[in-house]
Structure 1
Amino acid sequence: MSETYFPLAVSPSDPDEFHGWISHGSYSGVELSAVGSTSQRVRRTDRAIADAEDEHLLAGIFVKGHGRLHVGDQVAALGPGMMVLYSSGRKYHWDLDGDWQKAVVQIPLDRLRDHSGLTLDDVPTVLALPGTSATGVVSRFFCGLADLQRTDPEQAAVLASPAMDLLVSAVTLAAGSAPPTPDAFVREQVLDYMRAHCADPGLTVHRIAEGCMMSRRTLYRVFDDFEGGPAAVLRRMRVERACELLARTTLSIAAVANAAGFLTDRHFYRAFRTERGMTPAAFRVTDTVPFGRRPD
């Protein structure tokens, strides 16, 4: 953990039974890690702070388990889906209970200032931000990215391009002021809506625009950087859902097509071949590794 972030004092609650893991990626100045373990206390000490050259802003996002961040007399209690912002330049400690997992976003404060004009005074630190709030959209993006980088770092690097803008949006939203709503943030809101409804065969580009309270023209502009626009993104989501069902279940091909949001088997076969270059049946036969399995 010290090598991934900066010097930390880590004390497992039960050293004999301790186990944990960590993965890390770097995306144009934004560091993202996924980390999990059994119970432990993590401390940022005065000595470590005094020896540090740079100060960082961190966003801790819980995926599993619970933890409490202590900074001075402030305490933030977090559970799954919740996020907290804090600084490496202040003494703090984490009490992490049971088996837990979180994503951690890290950025040097000077880079944050250069990119957005924000300083640490603008950041509401040690405040538990719920996953149901607007910042939850950003939290889910980083959790998904942290999960993907463990299995497919090349794809994660492609999807990480809006990471800086999304983190700035999360900070601004947490501060309670109106963010500049860059396209990257709006797009992530739309993607969040699409993920939640892609299994509905009646979901169309028109319905997506209505559900996200925007015009079709705005929706297409938000997806300018995506080949094929929102319709192609929706197709890819449905095919990915179908791949998961094909690998994890014994459902018939027709049942998979319906569960993945395709109106007809014909539409399903056409979309699957476009995205995967093979038929669903061939994918089920050749996919010998269970979908989503993470490397040890």
Structure 2
Amino acid sequence: MSDRVDYRHIADMPGLVLGTARFSKFSFDRHFHLDYHIGLVTEGVQRLGYGGKTVLTGPGSVSLMPPGEIHDGVGVGERGYTLRTFRLSRELLGSVAEDLSGTAREPELAGATLEDPEVAAQLVRLFDVMQASGQSGALAVQSEWLRLLNLLLTRSRAIVPQQESGALSPQQWQRVRDYCFAHLSEKITLDALAALCDLGRFQFLRQFKQTVGMTPHAWLLRLRLEHACSMLSRSSQTIAEVAQGVGFYDQSHFNRAFRQAFGVAPSGY
């Protein structure tokens, strides 16, 4: 099998590049990067050397490499390995870290390997969604991106998360509801909802869940599906028109979400 490397820039998140590689012969000499790398070996095993030690990384491992960290990598065995990488510019990770910690300071991150199959699987799923669309603007993607980066940066002790409790004020909650009802057929982003409340994105996520008991994505998805029920029962619109009217631009996604919520396809409602 020949070696192969592909990169994809995420259009609406400058500073983020996704890398997918399959290596059977290629090995990385000692090198460093000017950006941050989050690495995921999804098949096979890679021998990774950094910080004076050598570790084996495979499915279930997450490797974190900050700018300037000297490291190398080589496959173990004859079958090779598959590597997926999030490459984040210093500016991008710095802005996310500020959002998460409330401190305008670049995170102090050393090379590290985390063994956590659940988190690794969640990162792979997020990678696949971003790679397939080339975008990160969907509310669910933005929320998961912040959640996972918060988890990684906290576990690696690169940041101290904000210890802040509380809920949205009645006025903030009303503004969010009014906006979602008024823009239900459009793409609604985390940035837009947080700005309505004059909060950072991660602060908004926590306060929204404290207020509602659901994540913004889960609440908005239910709102769209409830409106879809009303439209299906009171109008002559096609299922495709209903789907678009409540913000679904992929009818198969609408069908899956509807069935999962109500136990029946839209055509059976």
Structure-2-length-normalised TM-score: 0.53
Contact 2:66–2:109 at 8 Å: present in 1 too? Answer: no
* From 30, 36, 39, the counterpart of 1:57: 36
Report the equivalent of 2:4.
Answer: 20
Aligned residue identity for 2:9: G
What letter corresponds to residue 142 of structure 2 in structure 1?
S
Residue in structure 2 matched with residue 43 of structure 1 by the alignment: 29
Taking CA–CA contacts closer than 8 Å with sequence separation of 6 or more, which of the two structures ends up with the larger relative contact order? Answer: 2
The answer as to whether partners of 2:41 and 2:82 remain within 8 angstroms in 1 is: yes
Q: Scaled by the length of structure 1, what TM-score is found?
A: 0.49
Displacement of 1:240: 4.7
- Alpha-carbon offset, residue 224 of structure 1: 6.0
The aligned residue for residue 109 of structure 1 is 90
The equivalent of 1:158 in structure 2 is: 138
Alignment match of 1:167 (pick from 149, 152, 169): 149
Look up the SS of the partner of 2:55 in the other structure. Answer: strand
Equivalent in the alignment of 1:90: 69
What is the aligned partner in structure 2 of residue 268 from structure 1?
265
Partner of 2:48: 69
RMSD: 4.2
1-structure distance, mates of 2:157, 2:80: 31
Say whether 1:31 aligns with 2:13. Answer: no
Structure 1 pair 261–144 and aligned structure 2 pair: CA distance change class (3 A)? same
1:148 pairs, out of 129, 140, 161, with 129
Whether contact under 8 Å (2:5, 2:20) holds in the other structure is yes
Structure 2 counterpart SS, 1:227: helix
- Correspondence 1:129-278 to 2 at 5 A: 129-132=115-118, 136=119, 139-154=120-135, 156-158=136-138, 160-162=141-143, 163=145, 166-175=148-157, 179-180=161-162, 217-220=211-214, 222-223=215-216, 227-229=220-222, 232=225, 240=253, 264=263, 267-270=264-267
* Matching of residue 128 in structure 1 with residue 114 in structure 2: yes
In the alignment, residue 158 of structure 1 is paired with which amino acid? Answer: A
**Gapped regions of structure 1 (runs ≥ 5):** 1-16, 183-214, 244-256, 274-296
Q: Secondary structure at the match of 1:171?
A: helix
Quote the sequence identity (%).
11
Q: Distance in 2 between matches of 1:174 and 1:157?
A: 26
Quick one: structure 1 residues 28 and 76, their matched pair in 2 at CA, closer, same or farther if it must change by over 3 Å? same
Distance 2:267 2:37 in 1: 44
Aligned partner of 2:232 in structure 1 is none
Please state how far the C-alpha of 1:67 moved relative to its aligned partner. Answer: 1.0
Q: Which residue in the other structure is 1:7 paired with?
A: none
Partners of 1:84 and 1:128 within 8 A in 2: yes
Deviations 1:201-260 (A, max 9, x none): xxxxxxxxxxxxxx895433x216863448849x99xx65987xxxxxxxxxxxxx9xx7
For the 8 Å contact 1:112–1:118, the answer to whether it is kept is no
Q: Cα–Cα, structure 1 residues 111 and 74, in superposed 2: closer, same or farther, change >3 Å?
A: same
Contact 2:30/2:70, CA 8 A, preserved across alignment: yes
> 1:218, 1:88 → 2: CA distance?
39
Structure 1 stretches of at least 4 aligned residues deviating more than 6 Å after TM superposition = none
